[in-house]
Amino acid sequence: MSVQEYLDKHMLSRKIEDAVNAAVRAKTIDPVLFISNHMRKAVPSVITKLKARQILDSRGIPTVEVDLYTNKGMFRASSPSGASLGMYEAMATELRDADKGTYLGNGVSRAVKNINEKISEALIGMDPTLQSQIDQAMIDLDKTEKKGELGANAILAVSMAACKDGAAEKEVPLYKHIADLSGKTDLLLPVPAFTVISGGKHAGNSFAIQGIMILPVGAKRFEEALQMGSETYHHLKADTHPDCFVWFMLIGTKYDLDFKTPNKSGQNFKSGENMIEKYSKLCTEYPIVSIEDPFDKEDWEHTKYFSGLGICQVVGDDLLMSNPKRIERAIQENGCNALLVKINQIGTVTEAIEVVKMAKDAHWGVVISQRSGETEDTFIADLSVGLGIGQIKAGAPCRGERLAKYNQLIRIEEELGDQAVYVGKDWRQC
């Protein structure tokens, strides 16, 4: 092939001329850089390769990380994981190796292999800006209701990486790309729910309540809210900050308040009615504005009744498990009034956007949450802003995997400048 034939085949002469003319019209200071960027934009971005690996989460347990390559760059994401598994969530089929000789059976080499082979082959050549098509391609490839063939942990990591790639291709921040995908125009900074006391399964103490959190709703900016949370956390023995509300997270079975006590007598079991009375009293005596999972995940009757009292926000976590069918039932039955979203429970970015829309259409509050097995990935911070979610639960203001999310929200607030809106006292209505 001659030089002229090569130029004609790829229409290089016309493309270069167009780029030069554009640089002249723009009167750019650096025409070479301008022409380079112009030529780059003229080439459609396509996925060229996926490379997954096994990394460790914040608990030292394996999880999935993926590098998604296009003809323009590489984009990385990792899947979080939880300590508790629910039968209705996609993560119930999180793919683990079950080889007790390696990582006590918690290895994810099978999920990694699925990404490097099956998922990679299916997605090569796809446009990374078409998020719903990418997610649907993986769902179709998996062919199971709960993403058990490929692994929800594998599918989610790829979905998140593709979303980051799509934002880069559009040359917008990730939160803006997510807002575009969901059809939203308002970009809102959420109120953080800082854990100040841990109990239940997540702590080595006898405290039955799984967590006590504070909501700095009196702050004017997210940066100020983070300062409030940090100062309260480090002065825990002093009084709670006056501009902070309290959020209880209670998870138990049969309401056994002594479930962590050795040699328990069984004398402290409570009925649903007993717990409603207890919660009502607590909300009267203390500035409690939100309770997560106040009853067993199958106790719809008492959850519905307590939510109907309108005493506080009633958040469905184990009750709903980010499952669309459970959410729809709760909406129809007025089962609760807020949704807790854990993206690995639903399995893809597209499905996460859809369940948030379901909750908001029902005029519910929405909380985006970390998992107990987190990574340094800051995706949920951008997701909370892009979807206008009023609340984010990323743990106490300590440890790198938690602070990564909070620090990303500081950067987003700074980037938005005068357009930054911290929801503050509108944390439930936004």
Phi, psi (degrees; rounded to nearest 5) at 194: -85, 125
Asked if residues 51 and 76 have their Cβ atoms less than 8 Å apart, the reply is no
Residue 27: C-alpha distances to residues 38, 93, 306 (Å) = 14, 56, 65
State yes or no: is 342 an active-site residue.
yes
Angle of CA points 361, 363, 368, to nearest 5°? 85
206 Cβ contact list (under 8 Å, min separation 6): 260, 261
CA Rg value for the chain:
24
Q: Say which residues have a Cβ less than 8 Å from residue 191's Cβ, sequence separation at least 6.
A: 215, 216, 217, 225, 390, 391, 392, 422, 423, 424, 427
- Look up residue 163 and give its amino acid: C
**Single-letter residue type at 87:** M
The catalytically annotated residue of 117, 171, 231, 414 is 231
Is 273 annotated in a binding site? The answer is no
Q: Is 99 part of any known ligand binding site?
A: no
Q: How far is CA 146 from CA 137, 297, 306, 319, 389, in A?
A: 15, 19, 31, 17, 25
DSSP per-residue letters across 150-175? T-HHHHHHHHHHHHHHHHHHHTS-HH
d(CA 396, CA 219): 17
At residue 44's C-alpha, the angle toward residues 42 and 46, to 5°, is 155
Q: Which of 184, 342, 360, 393 is catalytic?
A: 342
User: What's CA 176's distance to the chain center, in Å?
Assistant: 15
Taking the C-alpha atoms of residue 233 and residue 210, their distance in angstroms, rounded to an integer, is 17
Q: Is 121 a catalytic residue?
A: no
Helix (H, G, I), strand (E, B) or coil at 50: strand
Distance CA 329, CA 335 (A): 8
Q: Which residues are annotated as a binding site?
A: 292, 317
List, by residue number, the catalytic residues.
231, 342
Q: Which residues are annotated as a binding site for Mg(2+)?
A: 292, 317
